[in-house]
Structure 1
Amino acid sequence: MNARIAAVEELEHRIGHTFADRDLLERALTHASVGDGAREVRHNERLEFLGDRVLNLCAAERLMALDPDAREGEMSRRLASLVNYHACARAAERVGLPAALRLSASATKVGARKSDAVLGDACEALIAALYIDGGLDTARAFFERFWAEEFPHVDAPRAKDPKTQLQEWVQGRGLPLPAYEVVAREGPAHAPVFTIEVRVQGLEPERGEGGSRQSAEKAAAQAMLIKREGHE
């Protein structure tokens, strides 16, 4: 038995679910890089889409059950700490998903098997596969087991960047996510200055500048957070 087949069997053993649809499981474990060649390969990107929604449902259900009196904004903050690619990657490690993944040789060479983004996506795809193959109860059982270590930390104080703070604020009010747009890029290629505009429904746009797009987005988000304080 080769190492990957053994890893897939161990994965099913840890989950406690044997897939009736083996092709579905293989698709959940197949990274898009495997399809880079001429041969068509069904990979896990579509399953990620469904898995993200199932994961959000399972997490929201659990949070409401744990704290029936929590406010919507508080639950949204807790949900964000449970449903992100870092948390998904940690769950993937717990279940033994890295060894079971199908990756191209080039993706493996650059360290994709240890990437939080790759592992997080694969974990969401696996949740979708469990939902399709075994139903919501099976997906829920997976979540409750492999996210158990995350729950003690949902209220832990953490330094959050302005973009995260702004996103949590709008989500807590049921608003669309902030929209960021580059409105100017000046300076030489080796030392650019970006100007970013951020828009939030119901508020006037704000701008920020920085030496990278990311830093300019954070500056714009910080400016919007300051404006937000005047509307609360």
Structure 2
Amino acid sequence: MDNSEHDNLSGIEEKLGYRFKTRTLLQEALTHRTYVNEAGGGRDNQRLEFFGDSVLDFLLSEILLTRFPGCREGELTRMRAALVDEVSLGRISAALGIGSGLRLGRGEDKGGGREKRSLLADAFEAVLAAVYLDGGIESARSVVNGCFLPLLDSHETLSGRDFKTDLQERARIVRHELPSYRLKEISGPDHDRRFTVEVYLGDQRMGEGTGRSKKEAEQAAARAALAMMKGEG
């Protein structure tokens, strides 16, 4: 490990508020498959991402259940979906400095992989899994609380917004047309399917979103479109 990588890992640990006992777990969490392909061996972060996804869902569900005792299942589901969509996880990951610590293949690195929301979101889940495996559930809970409790104070997450309905209303008022959604791709193994959906107003592509169901992906795409439309009308 060179000094630059050591500094990147130390910076991520500082922002996480967690110091790894087994640092190779953190390195694995930051290793993209393109790096392993070029190196000709080793382990990428996909297994940790799979586990981290479940850890994150569990801990966020616990937070939401406790914090919003009056909310029904549908409201809690929408809030959780808003917290774990690609936009939110990408922002959190970037704030933790995970992008600078990613181990990428040369092509992915040159192609801007350190700023790609999808890579950052996946890496955050892998890092959370690494924290759990290294320090247990309480360490993982501390990281999730530190990253997500501030988001719960934002009005759009707290309200469990239905972004599709919001986009439909805004598009009708500002553009005088309704959004349409197109399934772009389905990726991942059977146990961890990811749906990517694009949203259009007329012929203009307004954004895309990824989720573990088509509905979740559509909500994420609508959220991206609303961000693009901010300031219109």
TM-score range (shorter-chain normalised) is 0.5 to 0.7
| Contact 1:94 1:146 (8 Å CA) reproduced | no
Distance in structure 2 (CA, Å) of the matches to 1:159 and 1:23: 40
| TM-aligned CA deviation for residue 160 of structure 1 | 2.9
| Contact 1:45 1:125 (8 Å CA) reproduced | yes
| TM-aligned CA deviation for residue 158 of structure 1 | 5.6
Distance in structure 2 (CA, Å) of the matches to 1:58 and 1:92: 17
**Cα deviation 1:130-170 (Å, max 9, x = unaligned):** 011001111111111112332123135867348x99xxxxx
| TM-aligned CA deviation for residue 93 of structure 1 | 1.5
1:98 aligns to 2:87 (yes or no):
no
**Structure with max Cα Rg:** 1
| Contact 1:131 1:138 (8 Å CA) reproduced | yes
Match of 2:58 in 1: 57
Equivalences for residues 1-232 of structure 1 within 5 A: 2-37=3-38, 39-153=40-154, 154-155=157-158, 160-161=163-164
Q: CA RMSD in A?
A: 3.1
Structure 1, 122-131 or 64-73: larger mean CA deviation? 64-73
SS in 1 for 2:12: helix
Normalised TM-score (structure 2): 0.66
Q: What is the identity, as a one-letter code, of the residue corresponding to 1:53?
A: S
Q: What is the identity, as a one-letter code, of the residue corresponding to 1:111?
A: G
83 and 34 in structure 1: CA distance in 2 versus 1, 3 angstrom threshold: same
Q: What is the identity, as a one-letter code, of the residue corresponding to 1:83?
A: V
Consecutive unaligned residues in structure 1, runs of 5 or more: 166-179, 181-209, 222-232
| TM-aligned CA deviation for residue 64 of structure 1 | 1.0
Match of 1:186 in 2: none
62 and 8 in structure 1: CA distance in 2 versus 1, 3 angstrom threshold: same
| Contact 1:52 1:124 (8 Å CA) reproduced | yes
Consecutive unaligned residues in structure 2, runs of 5 or more: 169-182, 184-201, 209-213, 219-233
| Contact 1:85 1:120 (8 Å CA) reproduced | yes
Aligned length: 175
| Contact 2:79 2:159 (8 Å CA) reproduced | no
